[in-house]
Structure 1
């Protein structure tokens, strides 16, 4: 048998960072090379995302079990892939999609399918005696890997923190950093200072899903003022050493009549009001990136937002694009946004993710490789960001093993390779 042929495949149910079930997959090749992947899960999810198959048995993990998806990997998917050469990642991924036969991978489950796709890539890298980022770089046709600029969660609300704030996340971007190591140190100082500032104000410092603080701010301005205070308390300069990114997660605020309900503020806004609010934030604070500022089907609103702010800041589509080629193409045609959040479990396969990322960048969109709020100790996205030279990465905060393991992997890669650092230039000049 071909040494890199898939010889065995095993999926099992494990737990993610929120204590919910997810899938882990082991692939073993004919030469004994092994690859393992653990699949993340989101909280704030777009309707066009690839489908997580859950058991629906209320007696087991409140219906969130993934035993059916694991069984599909161990039976039907294994039979379809047994003996296939894992060096042909595209054929393997295409076969996974064909066997499932549904656009969003609903029949067999995108969670199991993605686990197989990533585990096979890792096993192939092991067989080739390559670092994972180098294997990904080959698959992406990228001859010059780069270290990404981190976007680090500091304050959380929305679905990541029990609706303690209307807006989901406020993040620090280490603008003056000259390396990943330097960037992580700067972000660590801001995160620690933010906890001290919150304590001084007598507001909560509970831990949110992605490791950020959940201070329950009344409105976005309060959160942004806290961010400025934290940056200054860390001995850094807002707008120079550290700039700010915001994840509005507007789809979770949108009502049936297409308005946006800010419950903490007691306000209901239309798209124009939302745009005006974001424009004021950009004017008043060093905000350089806004993610999901409007709902996932508000295409006209997105076009208006991009016209108003697209030359000044990065406007990132997460729920808007869901790492989906068709939605990305629609957004490009509609002039919606200028950046894409890339999440492998939104797409369902590695090559599908690489294709979407490559198309976005070919059209001048920035790209941010992103974790999910339900993460695992698998540091795959660190290698993905480096191997694709995506330029930016959004992992979460500098807390909990499921996020810190990815920062640590970036540190290892940087130390081992000396790859150039993307830095603030990854924003394509937006706000930098």
Structure 2
């Protein structure tokens, strides 16, 4: 590396995320006076193999404080990285991993480590006088991602009867990112009006999607179909749908079945589904609705089921591993070798450093898999994932509904990036993807 710009100071503090829970914000000073700042997201529906988010476990903030993690940055990490080259992202991330020394980053906390990793990247981009997406991805960073907007919430993201966690729309008929955002926002407002007309609750969940009480997923998807048509768009042509089932949250190990509590309450009888019944259920949904992807359709431990499902459905839909892979290349490698899933959801806080998240994207792309950059349900206004999606030309991003500033800021950042790229910007068309033929 030609240029050397030393880190001069590092400081972490406790702030609040979008759910009113504490999270970490880190600032890094490098060179003479360049400061970069980053804040760390947090998930509600988390995989058991995710890197450990360190919480204080004390009375303040009901045990969710992060002062200890911030202290780890200030007292343990800072002395070790002051003087390092801020432009050496991978070298810095390797030092952070070594300082923690555990497989799951449970010693210092993945939230502490990631805050430093993110802040270093933002500081380095400023020093390089380049936008963050160009600093991370180089001159080939020019693909704007198609937004996967979560406009209806259920599961752990809402207090309602819908068991499936997210119902998303993808504006595949849009000519560019800006128009895609507009199309999604219009459907979102149409859905609100439609829910109101039908006497449903229009309160929103953690990610800004509406959270009505509906009998089942088919009713929710039918509502999305109607909202698209009300807004003047054709499902299957202008818009595709995506689901996040978060099946690990539904799975009951004792029953060896997936328990649909919301459906059970609405239908007045216990609704259980085995792995084979889940696969058959998805096949029904695919036959009836224009679904592009299904995230976490089975439990994170059910490798055999994932392989069977991918063989049966993988020609017609992207099967996305979130809890299954937790942005970990060891688990992703296993999935690729087994043929379990055909896409990965990438959440930077699941693994703890930017370099490791980038490695997961590259491994997926080499295997011919789709990689989707994602937010968390507990977010901040930090927009780094927008730049990451462009930097690595992932072509897809999850950032929630066109509602709540911590979600909308990512979309606004991407519209600004599209302006900066000008005529060189690319916006993918997924109507031609083999998975939908």
The verdict on a shared fold, with TM-score over 0.5 as the criterion, is yes
1:392 matched to 2:396? The reply is: yes
Corresponding residue number in structure 2 for 1:21: 22
Corresponding residue number in structure 2 for 1:158: 155
Q: Structure 1 427/103 Cα, relative in aligned 2: closer, same or farther at 3 Å?
A: farther
1:88-121: CA deviation from partner (whole Å, max 9, x where unpaired): 1111000000000001100000001000001001
**Contiguous gaps of at least 5 residues in structure 2:** 265-270
1:106 matched to 2:106? The reply is: yes
1:292-333: CA deviation from partner (whole Å, max 9, x where unpaired): 000101111111111111011111110011000011011111
Query: Where does 1:43-58 land on structure 2 (aligned, <5 Å)?
Result: 43-57=44-58
Corresponding residue number in structure 2 for 1:215: 212
What's the offset of the Cα at 1:423? 2.4
What's the offset of the Cα at 1:392? 0.5
What's the offset of the Cα at 1:87? 1.0
Distance 1:361 1:55 in 2: 38
Corresponding residue number in structure 2 for 1:431: 436
Q: 2:227 aligns with which of 221, 225, 230?
A: 230
* 3-state SS of paired residue (1:147): coil
Corresponding residue number in structure 1 for 2:268: none
1:351-372: CA deviation from partner (whole Å, max 9, x where unpaired): 1110111001100110110000
1:374-398: CA deviation from partner (whole Å, max 9, x where unpaired): 0001000000001111110010000
Distance 1:109 1:115 in 2: 10
Q: Is the 8 A contact 1:366 1:427 kept in 2?
A: no
Distance 1:272 1:121 in 2: 45
What's the offset of the Cα at 1:216? 1.9
What's the offset of the Cα at 1:164? 3.2
Corresponding residue number in structure 2 for 1:119: 119
1:288 matched to 2:285? The reply is: no
* 3-state SS of paired residue (2:263): coil
Q: What's the TM-score, normalizing by structure 2?
A: 0.96
CA RMSD of aligned residues (A): 1.3
1:178 matched to 2:175? The reply is: yes
Distance 1:323 1:217 in 2: 32
**Contiguous gaps of at least 5 residues in structure 1:** none
Query: Where does 1:255-274 land on structure 2 (aligned, <5 Å)?
Result: 255-257=252-254, 258-266=256-264, 267-274=271-278
Corresponding residue number in structure 2 for 1:369: 373
What's the offset of the Cα at 1:143? 2.6
1:228-259: CA deviation from partner (whole Å, max 9, x where unpaired): 01111111101101110011010000012331
What's the offset of the Cα at 1:163? 4.8
Q: Is the 8 A contact 2:318 2:435 kept in 1?
A: yes
Q: 2:385 aligns with which of 373, 381, 384?
A: 381
Q: Structure 1 334/3 Cα, relative in aligned 2: closer, same or farther at 3 Å?
A: closer
Distance 1:404 1:277 in 2: 33
Number of matched pairs: 427
Corresponding residue number in structure 2 for 1:343: 347
Distance 1:20 1:302 in 2: 34
Q: What's the TM-score, normalizing by structure 1?
A: 0.97
Q: Structure 1 168/370 Cα, relative in aligned 2: closer, same or farther at 3 Å?
A: same
Corresponding residue number in structure 2 for 1:89: 89
1:331 matched to 2:345? The reply is: no
